[in-house]
Amino acid sequence: MSRRSVFLFAALIVMLYFSIILFMLNPLNGAKSPYYGNGYLNHFAYRQLPQVNWCKELKLRSPPSPDVVALISYPGSGNTWLRYLLQQVTGIVTGSIYMDYGLRVHGFPAENITDGSVLVVKTHEAPPLESNKFKSAVVLMRNPRDCILADFNRLHKGHIGTAPKSAFRMISQEHKKIDWTTYVKNQLKVWETLHQIWFTKFQGPIHIVFYEVLVSDTRNTLQGILNFLNFTVSQADMDCAMNRKEGIYRRKKKLQGFDPFTPAMYKAIEISRSRVLNIIKYYRKTHNLSG
């Protein structure tokens, strides 16, 4: 093998090595995968994100809790922000059934950990087949219009970016072109089915959190979740979390002067939303829950 060939081979190995490193650092505002971990990269975008100032050093639960708590939501419902708030106020890391490398290097080191060493475990899926996997669940629910739009933004611009107007004409999913109307129709079914199955099939206790209430009354909503988790924090812990509640995990930029939803879409959204709210009302009634 000539010296030139050896040099080219070595250069190829080095490039492959750094490509793997860049993949592991998949940035928050550059992921395009449907459910985390296989997207294209804006290779240097992760450098632009500010550091997270945690109220206390993050750690695993010690000893681990014998009961694993699921944190369920349809994608785009504010799951990442709620995990951030929980980590701020408790200092305990939150887990996930997924491996999102962008989140892992930007404040969520327990990605892909699903046991009692984490406070809650993120999932966008139906209840697992193992009936004892989760003993209880926190369901984070958001208006389907907003979470479908938020997840569409994530598909194009990651966890904190916003899709351009041109993206609403066509999107790429599994190498097939799907128009925006079809996307909304399909995802609305997913949104409704996800909530329906958790409230009718899951046997453990469920704590319901509405994203809109979490935004408008963050302190009391967060305290309600902590009460459900039987986790006590000090007033100083809560004050610190509230002082830092915005973090870096909420989209700042909104679509200006542009509404991608048609009247027909709004009608379908309201019908689906009403069906789910009726399921929740029935669940609360049969489980003697107030609110």
pLDDT digits (tens, 9 = 90+) for 145-182: 998 988 777 665 554 555 555 556 655 555 445 678 88
> Encoding tokens for residue 209?
């959190």
CA distance readout (Å), 199 to 83, 124, 139, 142, 271:
21, 14, 9, 15, 18
Structure-model confidence comparison of residues 27 and 270, the more confident one = 270
Q: Can you name the residues that pair with 207 across neighbouring β-strands?
A: 138
Task: Look at residue 141 and tell me whether its pLDDT is greater than 60.
Answer: yes
Provide the domain count of the chain.
1
Distances, alpha carbon 265 to alpha carbons 118, 123, 142, in Å = 38, 26, 16
Q: What is the dihedral of CA 46, 253, 70, 212, to 10 degrees?
A: 160
Let me know if residue 105 belongs to a domain. Answer: yes
Q: In the prediction, which pLDDT does 236 show? A: 97
- CA 82, CA 140: separation in Å to the nearest integer? 9
Look up the domain containing 38 and give its range: 3-286
Mean per-residue pLDDT for 257-263? 86
Evaluate whether residue 83 is within a structural domain.
yes
Nearest to 123 by CA among 171, 155, 77: 77
Q: What is the pLDDT of residue 246?
A: 85
Q: Could you tell me which residue, 176 or 268, shows the higher pLDDT?
A: 268
- 20 is a domain residue: yes
For range 135-149, the mean pLDDT: 95
Average confidence (pLDDT) over 25-42: 37
* Max intra-chain CA distance, the chain: 79
**pLDDT at residue number 9:** 59
Averaged pLDDT for residues 61-69? 95
Q: Is residue 291 part of a domain?
A: no
CA atoms within 13 A on the CB side of 13: 6
Could you report the per-residue pLDDT of 82-92, keeping only the tens digit for each?
999 999 999 99
Q: State yes or no: pLDDT of 258 exceeds 60.
A: yes
For residue 117, being part of any structural domain is answered with yes
What is the CATH number for 62? 3.40.50.300
Average pLDDT over residues 183-192: 93
pLDDT tier for residue 76 given thresholds of 50, 70 and 90: confident
pLDDT value at 51 more than 50: yes
Q: Is residue 53 domain-resident?
A: yes
pLDDT tens digits for 196-205?
Answer: 999 999 999 9
Tell me: cis bond preceding 63? Omega within 30 of 0 counts.
yes
